[in-house]
Amino acid sequence: MRTIQNYINGTNKPPQNGQYLDNFNPATGAVYGLIPDSGAEDVDAAVEAASAAFPAWAGLPLEQRHDILRAISDGILANLDQLAEAESMDSGKTITAARTVDIPRAALNFKFFATALLHFASESHSMPGALSYTLRQPLGVVGGISPWNLPLYLFTWKVAPALAAGNCVVGKPSEVTPYTAYLLGDICTKAGLPPGVFNIVHGLGPRAGEAIVRHPKVKAISFTGSTRAGAEIARIAAPMFKKLSLELGGKNPNLIFADCDYETMLKTTIGSSFNNQGQICLCGSRIYVERSLYAKFKKDFVEQVRAMRVGNPADPASRLGAVVSKGHYEKVLSYIELAKQEGGTILCGGHPVPQTGDLAGGWYIAPTVIEGLPLECRTNQEEIFGPVVTIQPFDSDEEALALANGAPYGLSTTLWTNDLKRTQHFASALQAGIVWVNCWLLRDLRTPFGGVKQSGVGREGGWEAMRFFTEVKNVTIAQ
Ligand code: NAD
C-alpha cells in the first residue's frame, strides 16, 4: 500500500484528522494506496504557509524564479518513467500515453511559463501632459483544482503560470488520481522551490476543494472539471469577488466534409474519438459526415475501431486501457444502454471487455460507435466522457452548423474541409472556444484555451494565463 501525504510548507504532512481515502488501480479494480481525506484545517495550514512565502517569492528576481521553474521542468523529465507508471496506475491510461503525452507535457508547462515570465510585460499609454502605465501584480495566494483525465498535465497547466506570475499556490489534484501530484512535491523541493510557495492538499471536492474556494485569503480559483462542480464553485466564489477561470465539460462536434484529406481525417478521427479512452475534454464525441462520404466513412471507421485493442495499460500493444473508476465505468455503460433505449444502433463496441488474472476486476470498455440518434436526445446532448461516439450524416453547410451548435457545450470543434470560404464561415459562426481545421489537439501553448456556453468562462494558456494570475493597476502620472 502506498500512502501519500499533503505537501505543505515544503514537507509531506498527514491530514490533521488522520483520515484517508482508498486509491484504486483501474487496471485491476483493487485498492493500492491511501489518500489524505483532508479538511478545512489542512487547507488553512496550506494557505498560511503560502501567505508567509508570498512576499519573498513575488520579490524574487525574475531570473531566479525562471531558474527554479526550469529546474522543476527538468526534474519532471528526469523522473519520466516513475511518473508515467504512477499516472498509468492511478488513471488506467496506457503507459505509452503517459510517457509520450501526459508527463512530457507537464514538464513543458513549467518550461513554457518559466520563459514566459521573463518576457511578460505590460502596456503604457502616453498623452500630452501625462503618461499612464499598467502594473500587473501577482494576486497573492491562488487555488488550482484539477480533474482526473490528464492528472499531472492539467494540474501543472494551472500551477506553472500561477507561480510564474509570482503567486503562491494551494493546489488540489483529483482524489481519483493524486499520485503524480504527490511526486511533484518532492521534485519541487529538490528544484529549490522555497517552502510554502506551492502546497498540495489532497482530498474530496466538496470538502478539501470547497475549503480552498471558500478561503478568504485565496484570491483566485483556476478550476478544470465538470460543469456541475464549476457551477458550485461559481456559486461560492462569485459573491466573494474572486477571479475565476472555469474550464468545464464538452460535447464536441467533428464536422467532416467530402472534400477533406480522407486518410488524415480518418486516422485523426480515431484518435479524437478514443485517445485516453475518450476521456479528454477535447475529444469529438458527435461525428457529423457529409452524406456523400457517409457510407465510406462508416465502413472504414467502424472497421478500424473494431480492431483497436483494449487491455492492460502496461502492454504497449494496448490502444485503450481502463476507464478511470468503477463509478465512471458504470456511468459510461449506462449511457450506452440509454443510447439503445433512445433508438440508437450500436455499430461496434457497446460492452465491457473482460480481462483475466490480476486484471479481471479492472474497468475496460470497448470503443463504441452509435448511429441513428437525433441531436435532441440525451446521448447527443450530455457529456459521456468515455469511449463512445455517435455518427450521423448531414446534407448542407447550414445543417452541419446547426448540428454543431446544437448542444449546450462549446469547448472545441474539429472541421475537416479544404474549402477556404467554408472554413472562414464556420470559424466565425461556430459556438466554441477552439476550432481545429484539418487537425485535432494540435496545441501551441501561446494560444487562448477555454470554452463558451456550459464549457466555462475565462481563457488559459500563454499571456491569457499570465493575465489571469495577475491584477491590473493603472497608474497615471502628470508631466
Ligand atoms: P469533477 O468536477 O468531478 O472534479 C474536478 C476537480 O474538482 C476534482 O479535483 C474534484 O475533487 C474537485 N471538486 C469537485 N467538486 C468540487 C466542489 N464542490 N468544490 C471544489 N472542488 C470540487 O470533474 P472530474 O470528473 O474530475 O473530471 C471530468 C470533467 O472535467 C469532465 O466534465 C471534463 O470535460 C472536464 N474537463 C475539462 C477540461 C477543460 O479544459 N475544459 C479539461 C479536462 C477535463
Q: For residue range 154-167, list pLDDT tens digits in order.
A: 999 999 999 999 99
Which helix (H) or strand (E) is 392 found in, with range?
A: strand 388-394
Residue 104 scores a pLDDT above 90: yes
Mean pLDDT value of segment 293-297: 98
Lookup: cell for 156:
501543472
Which helix (H) or strand (E) is 291 found in, with range?
A: helix 291-306
Which pLDDT band, with edges at 50, 70 and 90, does 236 fall under?
A: very high
pLDDT above 70 covers what percent of the chain? 100
Residue 354 scores a pLDDT above 90: yes
| Pocket flag, ligand 1, residue 206 (CB < 6 Å) | yes
Nearest CA to ligand 1 atom 36: 225
Question: DSSP of 57-95, one letter per residue?
Answer: HHHS-HHHHHHHHHHHHHHHHHTHHHHHHHHHHHH---H
* Chain segment 355-378, per-residue pLDDT in tens: 999 999 999 999 999 999 999 999
- C-alpha 386/C-alpha 372 separation (Å) is 19
Helix (H/G/I), strand (E/B), else coil: 30? strand
Atom of ligand 1 nearest to the CA of 203: 11
Helix (H/G/I), strand (E/B), else coil: 388? strand
Mean pLDDT value of segment 194-214: 98
Domain covering 2-248+455-478 in this structure, CATH number: 3.40.605.10
Lookup: cell for 292:
456523400
For residue 205, the CA-to-ligand 1 centroid distance in Å is 9
pLDDT above 90 covers what percent of the chain? 100
Residue 339 scores a pLDDT above 90: yes
For residue 247, the CA-to-ligand 1 centroid distance in Å is 9
Does the active-site annotation cover 281?
A: yes
Mean pLDDT value of segment 448-463: 98
Lookup: cell for 287:
461525428
- C-alpha 58/C-alpha 165 separation (Å) is 8
Nearest CA to ligand 1 atom 15: 205
Lookup: cell for 332:
459510461
Which pLDDT band, with edges at 50, 70 and 90, does 254 fall under?
A: very high
Residue 343 scores a pLDDT above 90: yes
- C-alpha 305/C-alpha 141 separation (Å) is 46
Mean pLDDT value of segment 17-45: 98
Half-sphere exposure of 251 (CA within 13 A, CB side): 21
pLDDT of the residue at 225? 98
Pairing of strands 130-138, 470-478: antiparallel
Lookup: cell for 370:
452509435
Mean pLDDT value of segment 401-407: 98
State pTM to two decimals: 0.98
Q: How far does CA 206 lie from the centroid of its chain? A: 19
Residue 35 φ then ψ, to 5° = -125, 135
Q: DSSP strand E in 166-322: where?
A: 168-172, 198-200, 218-224, 243-247, 252-256, 284-290
* Chain segment 43-57, per-residue pLDDT in tens: 999 999 999 999 999
85, 247, 460, 464: which one is catalytic? Answer: 247
Domain ranges of the chain: 2-248+455-478, 252-446
Residue 324 φ then ψ, to 5° = -70, -30
pLDDT of the residue at 55? 98
Residue 460 scores a pLDDT above 90: yes
pLDDT of the residue at 386? 98
Rounded to the nearest integer, the mean pLDDT of the chain is: 98
For residue 143, the CA-to-ligand 1 centroid distance in Å is 14
Residue 431 scores a pLDDT above 90: yes
Q: Would you say 449 and 464 are in contact if contact means Cβ atoms under 8 Å apart?
A: yes
Which pLDDT band, with edges at 50, 70 and 90, does 1 fall under?
A: confident
Lookup: cell for 189:
523541493
Domain 252-446 coded CATH 3.90.226.10: no
Q: Would you say 222 and 213 are in contact if contact means Cβ atoms under 8 Å apart?
A: no
Residue 132 β-bridge partners = 125, 476
- Burial 394-408, CB ≥16 within 10 A → b, else e: beebeebbebbebbe
Helix (H/G/I), strand (E/B), else coil: 452? strand
| Pocket flag, ligand 1, residue 279 (CB < 6 Å) | no
For residue 191, the CA-to-ligand 1 centroid distance in Å is 29
Distance from the first to the final alpha carbon of the chain? 68
